Structures are given as structure tokens and as C-alpha cells.
Amino acid sequence: MTMRTTATAAVAAGVLTLLAAGAAAHGAPAATAPRTAKTAQACGVLAPGASATAEKAVAAACEQTGVWYTWGGGHGPQPGPTYGQVDPSDPDSAQDPQRLGFDCSGLVRYAYHRAAGGDPLPGNAHHQFHSPQVQQRFTAAQGTAPLLPGDLLAWGTAGSVHHIAIYLGAGKMVEARESGTRITVSDVRPGGDYAGAVRIAPATQPGTSSTWGTDVWTHEEPSTTSPRVHRFPGPTTVRVQCQKHAQPVTAEGYTNDAWSYLPEHRSWITNIYLRGPAWLDGVPTCP
């Protein structure tokens, strides 16, 4: 019985290998992380009420079920699966440099990049939990009752969040949990050091824009001669409070004297590096 089972498994593995090779020969994307068969649990929007952006984020994350968890995965220059690193505190991560995939925050970053464009949630789980893109917060004591699909659940403390996952509804979440496992649907774990959840502002929220370009800096005042404050390594979703005419700036082949104030970053950015017209529609003039 053991020999027959082993042989059957070997044949199945061979068929999967041939199928994968055939897909590659017909132009399957090389950047897609390898995956196992889809999880038996349904992955998708399991409750009503979420924004279109949140539903798109859920769909993007669910497409990655079966892909490897890999420590540090998903934190390359652009959102998407990357090979991981060895976590010195976790022996199970020894193979992560050979595994293409995501860690928990890498998956969240990728999902909201797909949903909203730009790179609205860079950084690790702690950065995402405290992101300026957060629209609403929920305490651990509130449980899952007020949550909607696409909300981000976090574990740790307010000062040190170490894990994050995406809520699906109906008490389920999709997560990249730990080395040696694959992205999967899990039951929400409300005990232990569950820290609560956050809701990300939809991309269509009034006053929301996106930067473009690389290594773009904000300034203390609407002037390039004032001190630098914050660096955007790549396209990032930002909230614009107001705009005003100030120092003319010439960059990237454009000249513009409009500057926008970003309240979460407490600084100014030239409108040249904000997507849209030179003077942003629907954004008030700063006093």
C-alpha cells in the first residue's frame, strides 16, 4: 500500500510539473509566485458593506492563496512577491531565501497596491497599522462585529505590531502567517495579543491623491529651499488638505507654482509630483 501510494503521488507530481512547464512555454508570467492547490476554505468577500477599494484588496490577496510565506517577502522596490530572508529567531525560515512569496505586511502592501494604485501601505505591519491611510480604528474589545471585508487585523501592542491580516467577513481572514506555511484563509484569532483592527480609506475619498516619481521629498514650507521632511521612494497615496500658490518649481519638464499641504506628513509638496491637473480639482485653497 505504501509503495502504491508513493507511486501515485510521484505520477501526480510529474503531471503538475508538466502542466507548469507548459504554462511557462505559453508565456505565463515569470514574476508570479509558485503556489499549491487552492485552499479548501472560500477566500473572498464574505460580508456586505465594504468599499470598492477594500473589496479589490480582498480579491487581490485571495489570488495569492497557496503562495509561500517568506520572511521579508513583498518588500521590494515595487509591491509584489520577492524571495525572502532568514529570520535569525526562526529556524523554519532557513528556506525562505529560496521561496518566492510574501510576509504578512508584504501581502497587505500588494493587495492595497492592486486595489488603489500607487503604494499606499509600504513598510511593516506596525507601519501599516499606524498608516496615515487609516480611516477608522477598532479596539480588540469590539471583536469582529463592526468589521468589514478589507479591514486590517493586527497582533502585538500599539507600540509594536508584529502581525497583520486582511479580514474577509464571517469571522475569516486571509493571511501570510509564518515561515514554512503558505498564504491561507484562517479563523480570526481574537485572543492572545490581538490588538484590534483598522479600516483603510477608500481611494476615492475626497482630497485623496497619489504621488508619482521616485525619491520625492516634502518640505516644511511651500519652497524647495525649506528643510526636507518626508521622502516618498515611489508612488504613494496621500491626503491633501489644501493647496496654494507659492514658489514656482521646474521639474520633470513642468513648471508650476502650486503646492499642496499633506496633513499626515505635516509638510508641503509641489503639485508637479501629484497626479492630476496643475491645480487640483476639488481641493480648497489654503488660508
Question: Which residues are tagged catalytic?
Answer: 104, 163, 175
One-letter identity of residue 193: D
One-letter identity of residue 203: A
CB 275 within 8 A of CB 210: yes
One-letter identity of residue 97: P
CB 259 within 8 A of CB 269: yes
CB 107 within 8 A of CB 183: yes
Residue 145 to residues 134, 140, 237, Cα–Cα distance (Å): 19, 11, 28
CB 150 within 8 A of CB 134: no
Q: Report how far residue 75's alpha carbon sits from residue 150's, in angstroms, rounded to the nearest whole number.
A: 20
| DSSP label of 142 | G
Which residues pair with residue 87 across a beta bridge? none
